[in-house]
Structure 1
Amino acid sequence: MRCIVGLLAILAAFAGQAASQGIVENVITQVSSFFETYEEAPYTIVKRTNTYEERSYPARKWVCTENNAPLTEDVTENQFWKLFRYITGNNERSQSIAMTVPVSNQFTPAATGDLAAYRMCFFIGQEHQASPAQPSDSAVTIEEIPAMNIFTRTVGGYMDTDDNSRWMAEAATVRGFLDDMGESYDTSTMWWVGYDAPYKFWNRRNEVWYKKN
C-alpha cells in the first residue's frame, strides 16, 4: 500500500511541476510499463541446489544512487524516485529510458557506528548500454558494475518494511544455506533485489544476493 500511495503522490508532483507536456507523457509511459514484461539484466546459472543457486553476471552499466542511514531507516523510496526521474527524462538528453529489472539495493553495514550504506541501482537496458545519458541529478551516477558471481534464492511476497526486517531475515536464511554447503562468499555486503511492480500481487520475485569470493 505504501508503494501505491507513493506512486500516486509522485505522479501528482510530476503533473504539478513538469516544465513540459513531454515530461508528463514520459512518466505515464513508465507507469504503464509496470504492467508489461521488463528487460532483465543478463546472467547464466552456474549451479543450482535444492536451496540456492549460483549465477554469473557479466559487466554492465547501471544507474545508481547512494545514501548513508541507520539500519532501521527506510531510504529506499527516496532512492527509487531519484532513479525513476532519471529514466523519465531527468538526464542530459531529456530521454525516456525503459524500465528494467531488477532493482537492486546494495546494503553495506558500517564497520563502526550506526550508519549503513545503501546503493540502489537500475539496470540500463541493451538499447542504452553503449552510451547512456548522463543524469541531471548530481546524486545519481552511471556505473559499470564489474562481472561477478552471486549466490541467491527467490522468495515471494512483499519485502518492504520500515526497519528492513524481512530483508535481514531472508539474508540470514541464505547465509545458513551457504554455510551448510561450505560456500565462500563476501559477508561484508549484500544486495536486496526486487523484480516486480507494487501492483503485482502474486508470484512476486525477491532475492538477497551474496557475492562469491
Structure 2
Amino acid sequence: MDRGGCQMSGGGGGGGGGSGPDQHGVITLEDLESFSEDQLSDSGNGSLEEEGETMEEDEDHDRLLHYWQDVARGHQVDVPQDMAEPIQQLTSNNQGRSNREHIPFTLLTRKEKCGELLYEKRHYEKGHWACITMREDTYEQSICYGFMRIMRYICQQNSLGDYLGMTLPIVTVVRTDENHSVISHDVTVAYYLPIEHQAQPPQPHDSEIIIEIWPATVVYTRAFTGPTNEVTIINQINAMAELLDSPGVCVNDSFIVAGYTNPAHSNRQNEIWFLERR
C-alpha cells in the first residue's frame, strides 16, 4: 500500500467516489468513530438495562462486534473478529462527551453576514498526528478500514500497551483536481494525539500508521451537517471557495473534512477546512 504524507500543509491524500448514508446507507468514518448510548441500547431487541442481563465480558464484546458487523456487512465493509476489543474499549471509554478531548486552536476571525456565520479563521499549533493512507475500492471503504486500524492503535496496539484516549475531530485529508470536481481515491485518516502523549507519542504496532508532526497551520473552516461523501464534500469545497474573500491564499487542491459526531445523530456535525498557504 502506498503511503502519503497527511500534513496540514496540503500534502495529504484524499478519497474517491461513493454514496453517503442518506443515499445508499454506505458506512462512513463517523460510523466507526463512536456509538451513542441510545444506539447501543437499541442494537438488540431491547436495552441492556431492560433485558436485566449480567453479561460476561466476552459476551459484551461479541454483542458490540456483531452490531458493527451487521451495520458494515451490507455496505461492503468487513469488520474482523480482532476488532472486538478495540470496539469495546472505544465504546466504554466514550459514553460521555467529557471523555473526548478536542483539538486545541486559537480563533483568529469570524466572517458573518446578516448575523449568519459564514466561516471561521483558526490557528492550530504544531502537533503529533497518527496517520494512515488507504486506497480501497470506494471512498467510504478507505475511511472505514483506515479508521479501524487507527482504532487498534488507540486501543492498546501501541508501545504503551494502553488506551490512549479519543480526540475530536477525526480528520480526513482529501485532494481534488484543480476544478474541484473530482476527489482522489487515496484517503488519509488522521488522529490527533491527546495532550498527554504529544511530547512522547506512543509508537504504533502497525507499520503503515505513521506518526507525523504537522506544522502550525491557519485554516478557514465552515460547519455543515449531514453525510460526508464525494458529492457533499465537493459541494462544500465549492461553497466555501465562493465565501472566501481571497481564496488564492489557500492551498488549491488539498482540503480537510473534520467529523465530530456519528450519523446516529439527526443533526450530524462536520466541517470543511481550507489550508492557508505557508
On whether the aligned pair clears a TM of 0.5, the verdict is yes
Matched, 1:157 2:234: no
Q: Which residue of 1 aligns with 2:276?
A: 212
Report the count of equivalent residues. Answer: 199
Q: 1:69 to 1:109 in 2, by over 3 A?
A: farther
- What is the root-mean-square deviation of aligned Cα atoms in Å? 3.0
CA contact (8 A) 2:174 2:183 kept: no
Match for 2:132: what amino acid?
Answer: T
CA contact (8 A) 1:103 1:120 kept: yes
CA contact (8 A) 2:139 2:187 kept: no
Q: Which residue of 2 aligns with 1:99?
A: 166
Q: Which residue of 2 aligns with 1:192?
A: 257
* Identity across matched positions, percent: 23
Where do 1:1-213 residues align within 5 Å?
2=27, 3=31, 8-9=68-69, 16-17=81-82, 24=85, 27-37=87-97, 38-50=100-112, 51-68=118-135, 73-74=139-140, 75-109=142-176, 115-159=184-228, 161=229, 164-178=230-244, 181-183=245-247, 184-199=249-264, 201-213=265-277
Partner SS for 2:145: helix
Match for 1:167: what amino acid?
Answer: I
Distance 1:117 1:94 in 2: 30
CA contact (8 A) 2:169 2:259 kept: yes
CA contact (8 A) 1:34 1:197 kept: no
Match for 2:193: what amino acid?
Answer: I
TM-score, scaled to structure 2: 0.63
Distance 2:253 2:79 in 1: 38
Give the C-alpha shift of residue 195 in structure 1: 1.0
Q: 1:17 to 1:143 in 2, by over 3 A?
A: same
Give the C-alpha shift of residue 17 in structure 1: 3.9
Partner SS for 2:251: coil
Match for 2:259: what amino acid?
Answer: G
Match for 1:109: what amino acid?
Answer: T
CA contact (8 A) 2:225 2:269 kept: yes
CA contact (8 A) 1:149 1:211 kept: yes
Larger gyration radius, structure 1 or structure 2: 2
Give the C-alpha shift of residue 106 in structure 1: 0.7
Q: 1:205 to 1:114 in 2, by over 3 A?
A: closer
Q: Which consecutive unaligned segments of at least 5 residues does structure 2 have?
A: 1-24, 33-64, 71-77, 113-117
Give the C-alpha shift of residue 116 in structure 1: 4.1
Partner SS for 1:80: helix
Distance 1:126 1:98 in 2: 10
Which deviations, in whole Å up to 9, do the C-alpha atoms of 1:169-188 show, x marking residues without a partner?
Answer: 1111111111xx12421112
Q: Which consecutive unaligned segments of at least 5 residues does structure 1 have?
A: none
TM-score, scaled to structure 1: 0.81
Give the C-alpha shift of residue 110 in structure 1: 6.5
Q: 1:116 to 1:28 in 2, by over 3 A?
A: closer
